Amino acid sequence: MALTNTVDNQPSEREITHETVYNSLYEAIISGKFGPGRTLTIRGLAEELNVSPMPVREAIRRLVALGALEMRSTRRVSVASMTDEKYREIVHTRTILEPEIAALAMANCDDKLIKTLEKIDLEISEAIDNGDPDAYSERNREFHFTLYKAANSPIMLRLIESIWLQFGPFMRVVVGRLGTSLVIDQHICAIDALKKGDEQALREAIRLDIYDGMDRIGMELLGHTSSK
């Protein structure tokens, strides 16, 4: 009797659909396309993505577990809200993890990485000059995760991604309201630190960049800044 080959290294159509839906919702949340407090329904998302409700339901379950979405009912969710306690914890956790992963990335830094970061930072400057909050938000995230991925630390990276999911929508709202003219570009200092191999300066540049962004969220939405 011939054995049926049940082992297949290629992802199934079901797996592809589930991951595609999850990635689409993930991107919409972290980029701020779904604003804070926005109510979402499984049916509405399924129709928008042209898929059945099943992969949408699974994606929502994963995003609720990450804190990016809040379950309102069996069929209705919303983008997570911001509270004082949550805000302070996000700032505290980011200033612990992100300078650390940046320092780990320094060991793998080469000319290619530096040139890539310089190109992204130039695009950030163009977005600031053009007053384009969408481009600024996207390039800012690209800068950070291009650097962080160089650390080859997938567990820490996933933790940081889960945190970005929880403040991304708020950052986009704040940048949209206040504009990009007041944005301080700490990335130049980070790139300079990478070129010099100065780990402490890199940590400080990332830390200050986090405070600059999170203080904008704190002042605009909660009426106070983080405690540096």
List pLDDT tens digits, range 55-79.
Answer: 999 999 999 998 899 988 777 799 8
End-to-end CA distance of the chain: 70
**pLDDT, the chain, mean:** 86
According to the model, what pLDDT value does residue 17 have?
A: 85
If you average pLDDT over residues 142-159, what whole number do you get?
Answer: 97
What is the percent of the chain where pLDDT is above 70?
Answer: 88
Q: Residue 99: pLDDT above 90?
A: yes
What is the percent of the chain where pLDDT is above 90?
Answer: 55
Would the pTM of this model clear 0.95, i.e. be above it? no
Q: What ranges do the domains of the chain cover? A: 13-79, 84-222
Q: Residue 104: pLDDT above 90?
A: yes
Task: Assign a CATH topology to domain 84-222.
Answer: Four Helix Bundle (Hemerythrin (Met), subunit A) (1.20.120)
Distances (CA, A) of 68 to 31, 107, 134, 146: 12, 32, 20, 22
Task: Assign a CATH topology to domain 13-79.
Answer: Arc Repressor Mutant, subunit A (1.10.10)
Q: Say if residues 168 and 31 touch (Cβ distance below 8 Å).
A: yes
List the single range of 13-22, 84-93, 197-206 with lowest mean pLDDT: 13-22
The two tokens of residue 44 are: 């509405």
Q: Which of 176, 72, 186, 92 is nearest to 140 (CA)?
A: 186
Helical H runs in the chain?
A: 13-30, 42-49, 53-65, 84-106, 111-130, 133-149, 154-178, 187-196, 199-217
Q: Say if residues 42 and 56 touch (Cβ distance below 8 Å).
A: yes
According to the model, what pLDDT value does residue 222 have?
A: 78
